[in-house]
Amino acid sequence: MASESYDAIIVGGGHNGLVAAAYLARHGARTLVLEARGQAGGAATTESPWPDAPEFKVTRLSYVMSLLPPTIMRDLELEKHGYKVFPMGPYYQAFPEGGSLTLYEEDSQRSHDEIARWSKKDADAYPKWEAWLAGLADVLGPLLLTVPPAIGSRKPKDLAATLRLAWRHRGLDVRTIADVTRLMTMSIADLLDDWFESPQMKGALAVNGVIGTWAGPYEPGTAYVMAHHSIGDVGDGRLGSWGFPEGGMGAVAAAIGRSATANGATIRT
């Protein structure tokens, strides 16, 4: 071991460490991942928690796929390495006072009928809301994979990068820029108040604003959390879709790990 040298050593083999390793290795860096646990994957893990029934394997921490950018899936050839996801849906919400709401990704008329049971106005607003979100996704989606510009720097390279980014967004209108800017600071509750009237619809749509976030729906910034969850897909090209991976979340980490090692990275657990 002492004689081995690496260009990049990644401490922690969660899915982010594995993705970094795969990209580094793909670009020719001698790459090593050091993972403290017995298996890589971090919170993307499938385990057999019952010693007397090892045949039962479960997703133990993170439980559903979304937001893995299709660019990463393609670059790392994750399908070839075993990534397979079944889209989740339809979205179902039960209310404490009784009744429920189901939103069908594939069937806008059925969603309309469902929402209209609570509010006709909300049912009519929902397709417009979805179109508005899709418009935002066109702006925000590509930014997720863009290194932020070094604003204020006068180095020619940084200025060129800032100008390139500005040029890419030259077609944006004032309204869209205002919407994106407000999203970053608004609460999901305030945003939904602008669009919908029924507490059922607002409750159902607020979930994406607080999921995975140490915040309630009135917290500033939660509007963006909602948008962030709505702009990902699971590789099926359907915006905001989530899915269950075959083999549990550990299978996702394993596919990324296989991509990393196929490109020459070493993973030590």
Ligand X SMILES: Cc1cc2nc3c(=O)[nH]c(=O)nc-3n(C[C@H](O)[C@H](O)[C@H](O)COP(=O)(O)OP(=O)(O)OC[C@H]3O[C@@H](n4cnc5c(N)ncnc54)[C@H](O)[C@@H]3O)c2cc1C
Task: Single out the residue of 9, 11, 163, 178 in contact with ligand X (rule: CB under 6 A).
Answer: 11
Which residues within the stretch 91-150 sit at the binding site for ligand X (CB under 6 A)?
Answer: none
User: Is residue 17 within the footprint of ligand X (CB under 6 A)?
Assistant: yes
Residue choice 12, 82, 89, 141 for contact with ligand X (CB under 6 A): 12
Beta bridge partners of 266: 32
- Closest among 199, 97, 181 to 143, alpha carbons compared: 181
Q: Can you spell out the DSSP letters for 96-146?
A: TTS-EEEE-TT-HHHHHHHHHTT-HHHHHHHHHHHHHHHHHHHHHHHHTTS
From the CB of 83, what's the least distance to ligand X, in Å?
A: 14
Cβ burial, residue 97 (10 Å; 0-12/13-18/19+): exposed
Select from 29, 64, 88, 165 the one that contacts ligand X (CB under 6 A): 64
| Residue 9 binds ligand X (CB under 6 A) | no
> Would you call 78 exposed, middle or buried from its count of C-beta atoms within 10 A (0-12, 13-18, 19+)?
buried
d(CA 260, CA 269) in angstroms, rounded, equals 14
Query: Least CB distance from residue 97 to ligand X, whole Å?
Result: 28
Determine which residue in the list 61, 160, 163, 177 makes contact with ligand X, applying CB under 6 A. 61
Q: Judged by CB, which is closer to ligand X: 37, or 74?
A: 37
Smaller CB separation from ligand X, 14 or 217: 14
Residues 204-243, one symbol each (x = binds ligand X by CB under 6 A, - = not), give --------x-------------------------------
Question: What CA–CA distance (Å, rounded) separates 232 from 214?
Answer: 20
How far apart are alpha carbons 128 and 140 in whole angstroms?
18
Q: What does the alpha-carbon distance between residue 65 and residue 89 come to, in Å, rounded to a whole number? A: 12
- Write out the binding residues for ligand X, residues 41-60 only, by CB under 6 A: 42-44
Q: According to CB under 6 A, which residues from 21 to 40 bind ligand X?
A: 34-37
> How many residues bind to ligand X according to rule CB under 6 A?
21
**Among 13, 209, 248, 257, contact with ligand X (rule: CB under 6 A):** 13
Q: How many CB atoms lie within 10 A of CB 90?
A: 13
Indicate whether 245 belongs to the interface with ligand X (CB under 6 A).
Answer: no
Residues of this chain that interact with ligand X (CB under 6 A) are 11-17, 34-37, 42-44, 61-64, 66-67, 212
